[in-house]
Amino acid sequence: MKKLFLLFFVLGCLWNVNSIAQSSDNGDGTFTNPVLWADVPDPDVIRVGDDYYMVSTTMHLMPGAPIMHSKDLVNWEIINYLYDRLDDKPSYGLIDGTVYGRGQWATSLKYHNGKFYAYFSPNDTPFRGYVYTADNPAGEWKLLSRTPHFHDASLFFDDDGRVYVFYGTGQLRELKPDLTDVQPGGVDMKIFERDKDENGLLEGSRVIKHNGKYYLIMISWPVGGNRRQVCYRADRITGPYEKRVILEDALGGFPYVAQGTIVDDGNGKWYGVIFQDRGGVGRVLTVMPCRWVDGWPMLGDADGHVPEVMEKPVQGYESDGLVVSDDFSGNVLKLNWQWNHNPIDSCWSLTERAGYLRLKTGRVVDNIFLAPNTLTQRMEGPQCSAVVSLDVSSMKDGDVAGFSAFNGDAGILAISNNGGKKYLDMKTEVVSLSDEKKEVTGIDRKVAEKVMLKSDVIYLRIDGDFRLNKDIASFYYSYDNKEWTKIGNDFKMIFDYRRFFMGTKFAIFNYATKNTGGYVDVDFFNYERVR
């Protein structure tokens, strides 16, 4: 049975290596939705010349607010982040609480007069927004100002030089032209009221101006219905606005596709870039036609459906994708990596042992959810697999290190040093968080299987299956990276907006439960997406 599984896995990986990067590019001029079967929520996309740039939500992960680049809206790569860390309060560093599910949300990305601008406001105290700017999106982003809090906001630069922010459920506020604050005596109004048949907030504001009209694209929740994309249109920025539903569709057996933006190719064609909820993997990215019908940006094909397969907007481009392997031979971490909360910079190194990532324990904690310097990358659908190689010879008594399918419900391969003896557990940990400070209030632990290690060099593997009705992670270990032994149980990965509000991540970790000073060395992280 093991040999059959290994044959399947190897063949799958070889097939994937010969595919176009790690994207959903089919290599024949077409692509398959979702273009990014990974957690890319709240996208905002702009075109500058022949280049597309996108920003997405990463909340409590650092660095945060990834800036992604594409030439074709299909093949994307991370080129930068808005910031390395946030420091509004200690909980960004896992002290006196956490910011799971908070932090950076729904960033707005704009290009104006030769400069790039980005705005976001964490849904958390002190409820102040961030405005960043850059001359080059791959270069340095500078903090321009801290503004009042605007929920799910969209910056907008009008033709007359005035600057606005659309936010909340139809709120409009004018900013100073230099974006340093709100404009005293400027526009401050509600431009529409939600319909009586809609629940709660309308969210995800994205604004464009087309043929002299203002278009505000948002999501709404009709009573008894599914999330949908709506558009408000007006001849003047202050209204009056009229409304139309522009997308109400699902894809691939998964639920509704809604929240995102529209963008053109510079040659008259328009596209919708909209995310879809897909369970444990998170909120994935789709691309679809945008058809202008009677002055409305109608999304999907002629029947209003999101195409499963369609022609690439631009031909001839590839990328490395959002999730990549790493042998840690460079002087800096690859941009695809994000820390869980602010890292302790003195507790990791790429130089103390050449060709390895050293993770040192920096704080005594009793669970992975409070562990500093947990390093993550996204998991991807439909299936994926990753292997890490660990040298655990320098772990101290009480240290816990390993590899996880990490979320509020986490499946974990945990190596522990207990009195000089090292054990490998496959376990699950489910965290409970307080509502106000997101403090860890409880951990439900279950150990499925425990084995004693035979070597200080160990290979750990996690396979993820995000096909419809799956969301399963499976766990393996090896002493030679050839013969693999399955350990524990298959684990059901869960998306829970009340806690992490993100898709499941691969996570490499090391923490102390007794005394700091121990470390592990990570030789490599090898990743494959199995299409």
Average pLDDT (353-377) is: 97
Instruction: Report CA-CA distances (Å) from 425 to 360, 440, 445, 450, 489.
Output: 20, 22, 11, 4, 11
Sign of the dihedral through C-alpha 295, 301, 305, 308: negative
pLDDT at 25 over 90: yes
Which option is the CATH number for 338-530: 3.40.50.2000, 2.60.120.200, 3.40.50.300, 2.40.30.10? Answer: 2.60.120.200
For the segment 414-473, what is each residue's pLDDT rounded down to a tens digit?
Answer: 999 999 999 999 999 999 999 999 999 999 999 999 999 999 999 999 999 999 999 999
pLDDT at 23 over 90: no
For the segment 192-235, what is each residue's pLDDT rounded down to a tens digit?
Answer: 999 999 988 899 999 999 999 999 999 999 999 999 999 999 99
Residue among 259, 313, 273, 268 at smallest CA distance from 29: 313
pLDDT at 18 over 60: no
Q: Given pLDDT bands bounded at 50, 70 and 90, which one contains residue 22?
A: low
Q: Given pLDDT bands bounded at 50, 70 and 90, which one contains residue 10?
A: very low
pLDDT at 70 over 80: yes
Average pLDDT (109-136) is: 97
**Spacing of C-alpha 478 from chain mean position:** 30
Average pLDDT (369-391) is: 98
**What pLDDT was estimated at residue 200?**
82
Average pLDDT (402-418) is: 98
Average pLDDT (90-102) is: 97
DSSP 157-216: E-TTS-EEEEETTTEEEEE-TTSSSB-TT--EEE-----TTEEEEEEEEEEEEETTEEEE
Tell me the residue type at 334.
K
For the segment 480-505, what is each residue's pLDDT rounded down to a tens digit?
Answer: 999 999 999 999 999 999 999 999 99
**What pLDDT was estimated at residue 413?**
98
pLDDT at 180 over 60: yes
Q: Given pLDDT bands bounded at 50, 70 and 90, which one contains residue 6?
A: very low
- 364/341 Cα distance (integer angstroms): 16
The mean of the pLDDT values for the chain is: 94
Instruction: Report CA-CA distances (Å) from 486 to 181, 377, 400, 424, 462.
Output: 56, 22, 20, 12, 10
pLDDT at 13 over 70: no
> Which of the two residues, 8 and 292, has the higher pLDDT score?
292
**What pLDDT was estimated at residue 201?**
83
**What pLDDT was estimated at residue 1?**
35
Average pLDDT (520-528) is: 98
Residue among 194, 199, 197 at smallest CA distance from 243: 194
User: How are strands ordered across the β-sheet holding 421-433?
Assistant: 61-62, 338-340, 375-378, 505-512, 399-406, 409-418, 421-433, 440-452
pLDDT at 475 over 90: yes
Average pLDDT (17-43) is: 83
Average pLDDT (312-332) is: 93
pLDDT at 19 over 90: no
State the architecture of 22-311 in CATH terms. 5 Propeller (2.115)
Phi, psi of 138 (to 5 degrees): -90, -5
- 413/402 Cα distance (integer angstroms): 6
In the chain, what percentage of residues exceed pLDDT 90? 93
**What pLDDT was estimated at residue 409?**
98
Residue 440, token pair as written in the block? 């860890």
So where are the chain's domains? 22-311, 338-530
Residue among 95, 523, 520 at smallest CA distance from 347: 520
Strand partners, 451: 424
**This model's pTM is above 0.85:** yes
For the segment 324-357, what is each residue's pLDDT rounded down to a tens digit?
Answer: 999 999 999 999 999 999 999 999 999 999 999 9
